[in-house]
Structure formats: structure tokens, C-alpha cells
Structure 1
Amino acid sequence: MTGHRLGAWQGTALLVGAVLGPGMLVLPHLAAVSAGPASVLAWAGLLALSVPVAATFAALGTLRPGGGGVAAFVRPVFGPRAEAVVGWWFYGAVPLGTLAGALVGGRYVAASLGGGSGLANAVAGALLAGAFAANAAGLRVSGRLQLVMVLTLVGLLAVAVVVAAPSVSTTHFTPFAPYGMAGVADAAGVLLFAVVGWEAASHLSGEFADRRRGLVRATRITLAVVAVLYLGVAVVATGTGATGSPVPLTALLETGVGPVARPVTGVLALLLTFGAVNTYIAGAARLGAALAAEGALPRRFADPAGGVRRSLALLGALTGGVAAVALVSGLDVDPLMRATSACLAAVTTAGTAAAIPTLTGSRRAVAVTATVFSGVATAFCGWYLLVPLTLALAALAVLGLRVRVATT
């Protein structure tokens, strides 16, 4: 949408789409494995974290409409090296996150057909191959279709909560914290996957009819929608025992409507994950081409005609490599989501830190709070922080090599 015609509700739909993704199809189960019923504390804590983070990115977007995202805020404060590192964090997270998303879709399809991990992996491979083929052919999921998919996911989550709520039992909340607070912190590490995406607010600011208040209103509504959905799913899935299933949304719907939920969620999960995977691949391909043009990636990945085919090929090779490692080692969705969360949490922390000298007054205080909270949440990622650390070192090495070549 262009021409500054976005209203609060249209902007809300786009923001919800940026924050809410198909990871919600599996995260209640992964969090419960780490913390048991106490995983609801991790959900609540991360939602509280989202408030200052969302407010900070909304303030940045209002200050610099259409500012180009986190990289545009990081460069003037921390310099071009930091901008390159943030770009690598985004780019490097996509092979991990898209594989995780495809595996989630495969898991739901396999469950709907009564298949096992072999079928789930085959469906995931087909999803990824289809998404890369679509991008190579120049096909994209339209903005309207993506919006329909987001609204479908919102509706699916809401229906699941409503139909399963009468079956909630307190017996499923005991013992409440079988793994202690360490388990809650561990759950927070994977649940970060569900609360990253607030930086998208900075991209949308220039599209609002009311630039000063439109984005702020949309951010507030999105916070409310996301909080209700996340807490509703977390509490009801825990209270019905659905978190014990690797396909918790199917388990929730089966509790309320019976076996018909299985094929319905299988089809919807397939569509939702393909849409998300296709969109992330398209965005990452453009990002990779931009990084190569700036020298933050080897310049051979910048198409002479300004296209993204070389970047897309690199992205495909990286995704294939990650998939091969996952297949050989038996790597499941949980570590892939945690590694993705570590990268995107680092991006969020860099963005909020850049906001501190950029904003003034009370908004600066909010940015300080957001940076502290983001830093603490990022620490929950534990040794998965080695992933963004490795990517940062690689980015700096490529930049250093470019400088040495230019000076010889």
C-alpha cells in the first residue's frame, strides 16, 4: 500500500503479520517441554518485553518515516560495520528460520495423514523447493494474499482457544514448575521466535495517512491482539494438555470439534507455512543482493543487472546445507528456532540501542528500557548466541578483505 493511505486497522493487520507467524503452530509445545506449565510465565514475560520494544520502533518510525529498518538506524550511530553485521544476522537467520517453518508445516501435514517423521521431512523439502522455485520464476505471494493468510492464522488461533477453553482443567497445571526458573528461562529462549518482528513498525510509518499517530495506534492495537492470542493459546493449550502434542493446535481443535480438526489444520498449516517461507526467502534474496552491492557480502553475489538470482542461489545453497546437517544429525525444530531467535534478538537489541541517542525525552527512557530488556532476553538464548557471533565475525572478515583488496 502506498500513498500514505494506511489507517490504524490496516496498519494493525500488517504489523500482526510481521509479529505473528507459523511458529505459533508449534511453540506452545516447545516451551512446555522446557518449562512445563510454568511456560506461561515465559509467555507473559516476553509480552511485557514487547511493550517497550514495540514503542521504541514505533517512535523511530515516526521520527524517520520509511527509514529502511534497523540497518538504517544502526549505521549513523554505530557505523557501516555494525550495519553489515545486522544485515548478516538477518540474512543468516533465514535459512534456519525457513527450514524450521517448513518442518512445522510438514509435521502438521504428516499428523493429518497419520504419517511419521519421514513424511514430515518430505513435505518440508517440497515446501522449500516450491518456495525457491517460485522466487526463481519471479513469483511472489501478493500483499493481499499474505494478509489473508495472517488473518486465517489469527482466526484459527482464536477458534482453537474458544472451542477448547471449556475443557481446561487445573490438574494440567500441576506440578507447575517441574524444571524451576531455569526451565522458564530456557522456554523464553525459544519463545523469542514469537515476539521478534516489531522492527517492521519502522518500515510502515511512511505509509500512514496520519504519520504522527497512525503507527502508534496500530502498534498499541497489535500489542493487545498479540497479547490476547498468545496468552490465550498458552493458557488453554496448557490447561487441556495440548502442549504435550507436537502439533498443539490440532490437539486444541480436536478437543473442541473432534477428529475433523486434523485434516483442516493440516491443510491450513501447509498454506500458512508456504506463504511465510516464500515471503522470507523473497525478502532475504533482496537483502543479500543489497549486501553484496555494498561489499558486505562477496560482490559476486550482486547481479550486474540489479537482480537477486545470485543471492537467491546462495540462500538456496545455505538452506540446503542446513537441511542436510539437520537430516543427518536429527536436528529438530527446537534448535533451529532457537538459533533463529538468537539472530533476530540480536537485531532487536542493536535497533533499540541505536534508538537511545536518536530519541529524546521520555522516548529515550523507553529505548533504554527496551535495550536492557532485549539484552536480558537475548541472554536467554544461551550458547545459541554463537550463531550471531559467528555471523558477525564473518561479516567483519568480508569487510576487512574488501578494504585490503581496495588498498592494494
Structure 2
Amino acid sequence: MTNSKGHLTLGQGTAMYVGAVLGTGVIALPALAAEAAGPASLLAWLALVVISAPLAATFAALGARHPDSGGVSTYARLAFGDRAAAMVGWCFYFAIPPGGPAAALFGGAYVAAATGGGKATTFITAAALLAIVTATNMAGLRISGRFQLVLAALLVSLLLVSVALSLPDARWDNLTPFAPHGWTAIGSAAALLVWSFAGWEAITHLAAEFRHPSRDLPRATAAAVCVVGVLYLLVAFAIIAVLGSAASTSDAPLGALMAQGLGGNVRWPAAAAAVLLTMGTMNAYYAGAANLGAALGRDGALPSWLARGSVAGQVPRRSLAVASAMSFAALAVVAAIDVGPEPLVLLTTGSFVTVYAIGVAAAIRLLPRGTLARTSAFAALFAVAALLLMTGRYLIWPAALTAAALTYLHLKTRTTPPTPQPTEKHLTPS
């Protein structure tokens, strides 16, 4: 058994894993998936739950054997070298510009539903959320891990109570026609839902914080997969079976489900829960992206101008400013062309799937032959291949990022003069 100086127990690790995966997707993705595939989107949810098992097991095995805060980037470097690590880093860092505004728009939709406002309210709220999260991180403040876990626990409780009280109103007629947009639409729904399951790699960054990584990390992973999978399936089924056709048109499906189950006007509590969850999730990702950008600048994978703040205890304000500026630009583009958050979600999931692909490939190379963990990695490889096919044209974004990362490294190598080597004169003692 591998011990470490970490402090996380099995229960705490499970709770943090659930909090990492159970993000903003649950407040909006059921409606987007239902719009894409109708009731057949339930099959997409089930497929993602099944896919999650080997994928999560693979990253848990890597974390248990190589506990390091670098996570997938570290595994890529160990398996394939610095270029692969840079590619993963770019995909993570530049997933924030589309991902941040998408999450903010989800929270903004709940505020608009509670106030009776329209799209303007949604976008104003989203911009305010981006500004608050940016200012919080610029000041060096962090929402505590315990507070985020409390928010996740409250959300889980609200979901379970809402589902339990609303299921008596479920109607089987709401499940027909089951596939109104054809069976191929399930793939489109699954591509959207990758957002909801992003985070299985997140626990690898905390592997070194477990007291017993080799024992507790796999157990925490298995428990989290079960909890998240069951919860997502329950919520998705309830929203479709209870709300019917309204599920695909609601901007705040969780609020509508809570109103159906709890009765009365619960849109404000639903909006408050959505905003708090959105802020907690965005704060975590913005803080991580800011630190990652500074580290990439320090390591030469991004301009060295971004490196300030890469030392522990410092605030990486330059990296944060770049990520935030790109996020506001993405939000402005979406507002100008009026396309909603769906394209942003798909661009972000394209980056996540690419990171998964590189991480699983690294696992196959790093994990011992003949072990169950390596078998899980091969199963995860097939799962990721399916996700890559489903993501389709939105892989253009991570493909462009990986090409840009490799081009940047190539140009940097050509323009950086080689380090002078000691000559024989220098080596001869006088």
C-alpha cells in the first residue's frame, strides 16, 4: 500500500470527485440533449455512464501509480515527452474561453426564468458571473473546497427530493415518439453530454493528497461513478417523463422539475442554486486554468510573459487576464450571432475528448501489462474513439490547438539559440 503525506480520506475523496464531475451540466444539459434526440437522449445518458466506468478507472490507476498534481499533462510527458504534455496543456487552457461563457449562460438562464426576463437578462447575468469570478481570482481569493462540497451536497439533495416528488406525475406518453429525430441523433446528444461527464481526469490532480492513494483512489472513483451515474439517469428520466415536450424547450429544466415536484414558486431557489453551483465550478476551473497558463509560460509551452505567478503562493494574474479576455470575447460573439451555448459546449467537449484520448494512450503505455488497469485502458480507448466520432466537426478546435502548440514549440526551438557547450579550454585546469 502506497502512503503519502496527503490528508484526504476515502469519504472525502469520493465527495470531491462527485463535486468535480457533478458540475453545471445537470442544470441545463438534459434539455439540450432532449432537444437533440428527444426521449432517445436517455440512451445517450446511459452510454456515457457506461463509458465513464473504464475511463474513470484508467485515470484512477494512473493517479494511484503516479500521484502528481500535473495530472494528465504529467502522464503525457512520462509516456510521450514534452510535446504531448504541451498539447494537453493547450487543450486544457484554451477550453476555458468557450467553457466559461457556456457555464455562465446556464446560470444566467435560471435567473432569466426566475425574473421573467429574456435573452438580455441571460447574457447580462452571464457577463456578471464572468466578471465576479475573474475579480475573485485576481484578488487571490478562493472558494473553499468545503464550501464547494456543501454546494454539491445541497444540489444532490435538491435533485433527489425533486425527482422523488415529481415522479408520480410521470407519463409514459411523454416517451413517445422515442426517437423523433432518428437514431443517429443519439450521437449528437452524446456529444453534448460529454460536458456533463467531464471531470474524471480531475481527481488525478489530487492523487497525491490521499493518505493511501493506491488503495483509496480506485475506491473513491468506483463510488463516484455509481453516485454520478445513478443521479444523472434519474434526473434525465424525470425531466423527460414528467415535463414531456416542455423538457426540450425549457431554459431552466431543473427549476421546472422542482416546481412540479415541490409545488409553488421555487424558481428563485432554483436560480440561486444554479448561480452558486455555476460560480463554484467556474471559480475552480478559472483558478486551475490561470495556474496552468502560468506553468506553461514557465515551461516554454506558452510565452514567458505569462509565467509571472507560477510560483506557489503567487497569483497568476496575467494568465488569468488572457483567459478571461478570451471568455468575454466568446460571450460577445455568441450574443452577436444569437446561437446560444450549444456551440460553446461542443467546442469545450471537443477539447475534453482530446485530452481523454491522449491520457488513455499514455495509460496504455505506462500501466503494467496483464493488469486489470491496463485492460480498462483498452476499453476506455474504444470508448474515447466513439466519443471522437460523435464530436465530429467540433474536433477542429482541439486539432487547431494541438497544431498551434506544436508550431509554437517548433518556432521557439528555431529562434532560441543553443546553450553554449564548454570547450576543451574551459575544461582544462589552469
- TM-score, length-scaled by structure 2: 0.92
Question: For the residues of structure 2 that align with 1:367 and 1:19, how far apart are their CA atoms?
Answer: 20
Structure 2 residue aligned with 1:308: 316
Question: For the residues of structure 2 that align with 1:402 and 1:76, how far apart are their CA atoms?
Answer: 22
Please list the CA deviations of residues 156-194 of structure 1 after superposition, one character each: whole Å capped at 9, or x if unmatched: 222221121111110000000111221100000000001
- State whether residues 298 and 398 of structure 1, in contact with CA within 8 Å, keep that contact through their aligned partners in structure 2: no
Q: Deviation at 1:210?
A: 2.8
Question: For the residues of structure 2 that align with 1:365 and 1:305, how far apart are their CA atoms?
Answer: 37
Q: Deviation at 1:325?
A: 1.1
- State whether residues 298 and 304 of structure 2, in contact with CA within 8 Å, keep that contact through their aligned partners in structure 1: yes
Question: For the residues of structure 2 that align with 1:373 and 1:38, how far apart are their CA atoms?
Answer: 19
In structure 2, the gaps of 5 or more residues are: 419-430
Q: Deviation at 1:66?
A: 2.8
Question: For the residues of structure 1 that align with 2:375 and 2:276, how far apart are their CA atoms?
Answer: 41
Structure 2 residue aligned with 1:157: 159
SS at match of 2:183: helix
Give yes or no for the alignment of 1:383 onto 2:388. Answer: no
Structure 2 residue aligned with 1:13: 15
Q: Deviation at 1:15?
A: 0.4
Question: For the residues of structure 2 that align with 1:196 and 1:325, how far apart are their CA atoms?
Answer: 24
Structure 2 residue aligned with 1:219: 221
Amino acid across the alignment from 2:145: G
- 1:138-217 to structure 2, matched below 5 A, reads 138-217=140-219
Of the three residues 124, 133, 136, the one matched with 2:135 is: 133
SS at match of 1:246: coil
Please list the CA deviations of residues 18-58 of structure 1 after superposition, one character each: whole Å capped at 9, or x if unmatched: 11101210000000011000000000001100010011111
Of the three residues 233, 238, 258, the one matched with 2:263 is: 258
1:237–1:304 distance in 2 versus 1, CA, 3 Å:
closer
- 1:332-351 to structure 2, matched below 5 A, reads 332-351=340-359
Q: Name which of structure 1's ranges 382-391 and 259-268 shifts more when overlaid on structure 2.
A: 259-268
Amino acid across the alignment from 1:255: Q
Q: Name which of structure 1's ranges 55-64 and 241-250 shifts more when overlaid on structure 2.
A: 241-250
- 1:42-81 to structure 2, matched below 5 A, reads 42-66=44-68, 68-81=70-83
- State whether residues 85 and 395 of structure 1, in contact with CA within 8 Å, keep that contact through their aligned partners in structure 2: yes
- State whether residues 112 and 118 of structure 2, in contact with CA within 8 Å, keep that contact through their aligned partners in structure 1: yes
Question: For the residues of structure 2 that align with 1:305 and 1:221, how far apart are their CA atoms?
Answer: 34
Structure 1 residue aligned with 2:251: 246
Question: For the residues of structure 2 that align with 1:90 and 1:359, how far apart are their CA atoms?
Answer: 23
1:285–1:305 distance in 2 versus 1, CA, 3 Å:
closer
Greater C-alpha radius of gyration: 2
Q: Deviation at 1:8?
A: 1.7
- State whether residues 204 and 215 of structure 1, in contact with CA within 8 Å, keep that contact through their aligned partners in structure 2: no
Q: Deviation at 1:87?
A: 0.4
Structure 2 residue aligned with 1:331: 339
Structure 2 residue aligned with 1:366: 376
Question: For the residues of structure 1 that align with 2:45 and 2:27, how far apart are their CA atoms?
Answer: 15
Question: For the residues of structure 1 that align with 2:58 and 2:106, how far apart are their CA atoms?
Answer: 31
Q: Deviation at 1:349?
A: 1.4
Please list the CA deviations of residues 117-150 of structure 1 after superposition, one character each: whole Å capped at 9, or x if unmatched: 1011111111101111111111111111111122
Question: For the residues of structure 1 that align with 2:86 and 2:360, how far apart are their CA atoms?
Answer: 17
- State whether residues 63 and 213 of structure 2, in contact with CA within 8 Å, keep that contact through their aligned partners in structure 1: no
Give yes or no for the alignment of 1:283 onto 2:285. Answer: no
Structure 1 residue aligned with 2:409: 399
- State whether residues 19 and 194 of structure 1, in contact with CA within 8 Å, keep that contact through their aligned partners in structure 2: yes
Question: For the residues of structure 2 that align with 1:400 and 1:14, how far apart are their CA atoms?
Answer: 38
- Which runs of 4 or more aligned residues in structure 1 lie more than 3 Å from their structure 2 counterparts after TM superposition? 304-307
- TM-score, length-scaled by structure 1: 0.97
- State whether residues 28 and 251 of structure 2, in contact with CA within 8 Å, keep that contact through their aligned partners in structure 1: yes
RMSD: 1.5
- State whether residues 294 and 310 of structure 2, in contact with CA within 8 Å, keep that contact through their aligned partners in structure 1: no
Amino acid across the alignment from 1:348: Y
Structure 1 residue aligned with 2:103: 101
Question: For the residues of structure 1 that align with 2:102 and 2:277, how far apart are their CA atoms?
Answer: 13
Question: For the residues of structure 1 that align with 2:75 and 2:16, how far apart are their CA atoms?
Answer: 21
- State whether residues 173 and 239 of structure 1, in contact with CA within 8 Å, keep that contact through their aligned partners in structure 2: yes
SS at match of 1:368: helix
Q: Deviation at 1:304?
A: 7.2
Question: For the residues of structure 1 that align with 2:212 and 2:305, how far apart are their CA atoms?
Answer: 42
Amino acid across the alignment from 2:52: S
1:305–1:279 distance in 2 versus 1, CA, 3 Å:
closer
Please list the CA deviations of residues 238-278 of structure 1 after superposition, one character each: whole Å capped at 9, or x if unmatched: 10125232211011111112232111101111111111112
Q: Deviation at 1:67?
A: 5.3
In structure 1, the gaps of 5 or more residues are: none
- State whether residues 51 and 383 of structure 2, in contact with CA within 8 Å, keep that contact through their aligned partners in structure 1: yes
Q: Deviation at 1:305?
A: 7.7
Structure 1 residue aligned with 2:33: 31
Q: Deviation at 1:7?
A: 2.0
Structure 1 residue aligned with 2:427: none
Amino acid across the alignment from 1:179: H
Q: Percentage identity across aligned positions?
A: 45
- State whether residues 101 and 327 of structure 2, in contact with CA within 8 Å, keep that contact through their aligned partners in structure 1: yes
- State whether residues 61 and 67 of structure 1, in contact with CA within 8 Å, keep that contact through their aligned partners in structure 2: no
Question: For the residues of structure 2 that align with 1:5 and 1:312, how far apart are their CA atoms?
Answer: 29
Structure 1 residue aligned with 2:422: none
Question: For the residues of structure 1 that align with 2:309 and 2:344, how far apart are their CA atoms?
Answer: 33
1:40–1:397 distance in 2 versus 1, CA, 3 Å:
same
- State whether residues 293 and 302 of structure 1, in contact with CA within 8 Å, keep that contact through their aligned partners in structure 2: yes
Question: For the residues of structure 1 that align with 2:272 and 2:122, how far apart are their CA atoms?
Answer: 13
- State whether residues 309 and 316 of structure 2, in contact with CA within 8 Å, keep that contact through their aligned partners in structure 1: no
SS at match of 2:8: coil
